[in-house]
Structure 1
Amino acid sequence: MALLVSLGALLACLCATNAMTAGFMKSPMSQMKLVEDSAELHCEVMGNPIPEVQWWFIEGDEPEETFTQLFDGARQEQVRINATYILHATSAIYFANLSLNDSGTYECRASNDPDRNDLKKSPKIKWIRSQANIIVFEYPFIVTTPREVVNNTETTVRLSCNLTNPTSPVAGSYWEKDGKKIENSANTEPNVVAQYTISKTDLQSGGVYYCVFLTSPKVNSSIEVKVLPHVKAYKHSEQGNENDKGVLSCKCHSYPLPTDWQWFKVIGDKKTLITNGTERFEVRSTPDESILSIGELDIEKDAGDYECLATNEVGSGSDKIQLRVRSRLAALWPFLGIVAEVIILVTVIFIYEKRRKPDEITDDDDSGAAPLKSNAATNHKDQNVRQRNCN
């Protein structure tokens, strides 16, 4: 029995030796935000055993301040808390859609005392605390000129923003287009007016422009530049085989994107609207693309010109596609042509050889062995005549 008591005391000493009080590795940082913005605070704590982390909201001033513990889903799901306890404690609290009432002091508390949550006992180790402030400002009023640009055909357009009531001193400004900073648009002067000039209103210039003022926090306002739909066919000439499926496609990248797509069959000056789901036609459209599918292509009915038309709040734009439908036998024509050429070539060679051989045989008989034999006989006769004369 005494041995067990000694062993237990030894284990208790070892645990006490390895124990470590909680300490902050990362404390939350104060932030300044605008109404309807979001905010996030982080807190990391080490200790052995791993400490528990809690978040509290402090309202009022001392000595009348009040403390409210925050849980995941508090303030009608506006508050989200995520915590992990591996090696050390990590916790983050997230606030969505901030309002002026969210301004105040937020406190990260941590403790690894076993009796930290026992209200009947005084904790041996106090909770350690780290605080940060979130200050929420009303959004300042920015006057934009013009409020929007709609299909402006002028050579240049000047966009202007006037920050009337900045929340803090202005350190400069710059412009963005569709969320990306525009090169050479930055201004380091502490001006409350920012201007940007568009040299030409076209497909490339359409979009949403933001004037951004370098205050604390940053503030911005937007100006929309709207242009007509710029429709572009994926291919201006498409080919398909008879009884196969034909697919025609058009795209549009202008701003604002189209709200409606239409397809037409064009015959001369007459355009016939193609209704989705009728006969063999199927139309599938997204804001930036439309696809016309034609089932079982027919040479007589389906070949010809087609027009895709996109419409947005500014107006309409279109492009044309020519569809060629080939017979299923069309693929055999090149092969049949080659076979015909081979047959004709073989026939010509055969006829040529047939006519050439008799002429060659006759020529050989006339100038070949017979003349040689005659010459030999003549030579023998001449030799005999000479011998007789000698006798």
Structure 2
Amino acid sequence: MAAALLVVLGLVLSIESGSGAGSNITTSKLIVDSKTRLTCTLDSSDTAILGHRWTKGDKVLQEDSEPDLTTQYEVDTHESAGQYFCTFLSEPTGRTAGVNVEGPPKVKAVKKSEHATEGETVVLACKSESFPPVTDWLWYKINDNGVQIFNNASQNKVVMSSETKTELHIQNLDLEADPDEDTGSAPLKSSGHMNDKDKNVRQRNSN
């Protein structure tokens, strides 16, 4: 009996990064070999520039005390997708602009395997760390009959998704109709505008 595969597909939409939040700060990105160089340029300043700071989320990535109107920061092109912020330090307040770095989806199985018995509810879950974030998830099963897509209209299947996580709830588990221990690895696939990524999840039955 051929193995039945459970696959989840995350689709991301491309978005364009624009100018910084400050009206007189312009931003740009330049790919140099395996790096992406982020640049912020302040057109003019009525106060002395005391330095620059680059951040991502709550983390300070780089800070200096140079007085220049331009600041740069390099990131790994394929591993550092996300929103970066450059700040020109001055008194009384600094000026900040954002730079968006797009990258391939990073999809992971929350748990690589699940154990269940007849009649129980099984939850298969995957999470995504990507920018832009995932907008659509698709769970489907591959077997000898082709591809079977699961949604909330499917019998005993419920899909719950957000930008960062998706769950497939298999209710009242039927060991004959639903995938079992013999299915082996189930590829978890996420496709975006950058490329595709495959991960594995597995469902097992407890005896």
State if a TM-score over 0.5 links the two structures. yes
| Alignment partner of 2:26 out of 124, 140, 143 | 143
* Offset of residue 202 of structure 1: 3.1
**1:314-361 deviation per Cα after TM superposition (whole angstroms, max 9, x unaligned):** 5654433222234xxx3xxxxxxxxxxxxxxxxxxxxxxxxxxxxxxx
CA distance in 2, matches of 1:302, 1:170: 64
- Tell me: CA distance 1:141–1:294, structure 2 relative to 1, closer, same or farther (3 Å): same
Aligned length: 181
2:199 paired with 1:323? no
**Aligned residue in 2 for 1:170:** 49
| Alignment partner of 1:190 out of 54, 64, 67 | 67
- Tell me: CA distance 1:211–1:258, structure 2 relative to 1, closer, same or farther (3 Å): same
Structure 2 counterpart of 1:242, which letter? Answer: E
* Offset of residue 154 of structure 1: 4.2
* Offset of residue 260 of structure 1: 0.9
Structure 2's unaligned 5+ residue stretches are 1-21
- Tell me: CA distance 1:159–1:286, structure 2 relative to 1, closer, same or farther (3 Å): same
**Aligned residue in 1 for 2:150:** 274
2:177 is paired with a residue whose SS is helix
Structure holding more strand per residue: 2
**Aligned residue in 2 for 1:214:** 89
CA distance in 2, matches of 1:285, 1:299: 25
Contact preservation (8 Å) 1:262, 1:308: no
How does the TM-score come out when normalised to structure 2?
Answer: 0.76
Structure 2 counterpart of 1:301, which letter? Answer: A
Higher RCO (CA-CA < 8 Å; seq separation 6+): 2
- Tell me: CA distance 1:321–1:232, structure 2 relative to 1, closer, same or farther (3 Å): same
CA radius of gyration, larger in? 1
How does the TM-score come out when normalised to structure 1?
Answer: 0.42
* Offset of residue 193 of structure 1: 0.8
* Offset of residue 222 of structure 1: 1.2
**Aligned residue in 2 for 1:302:** 178
- Tell me: CA distance 1:250–1:153, structure 2 relative to 1, closer, same or farther (3 Å): farther
**1:17-60 deviation per Cα after TM superposition (whole angstroms, max 9, x unaligned):** xxxxxxxxxxxxxxxxxxxxxxxxxxxxxxxxxxxxxxxxxxxx
* Offset of residue 165 of structure 1: 1.6
**1:203-249 deviation per Cα after TM superposition (whole angstroms, max 9, x unaligned):** 4x111111110123210111111112111011222221012111111
Structure holding more helix per residue: 1
* Offset of residue 312 of structure 1: 5.4
2:104 paired with 1:228? yes
| Alignment partner of 2:115 out of 221, 233, 239 | 239
* Offset of residue 172 of structure 1: 1.1
CA distance in 2, matches of 1:264, 1:154: 37
CA distance in 2, matches of 1:274, 1:191: 55
- Tell me: CA distance 1:263–1:307, structure 2 relative to 1, closer, same or farther (3 Å): farther
2:63 is paired with a residue whose SS is coil
CA distance in 2, matches of 1:309, 1:270: 17
Percent sequence identity over aligned pairs: 28
| C-alpha RMSD over aligned residues | 2.5
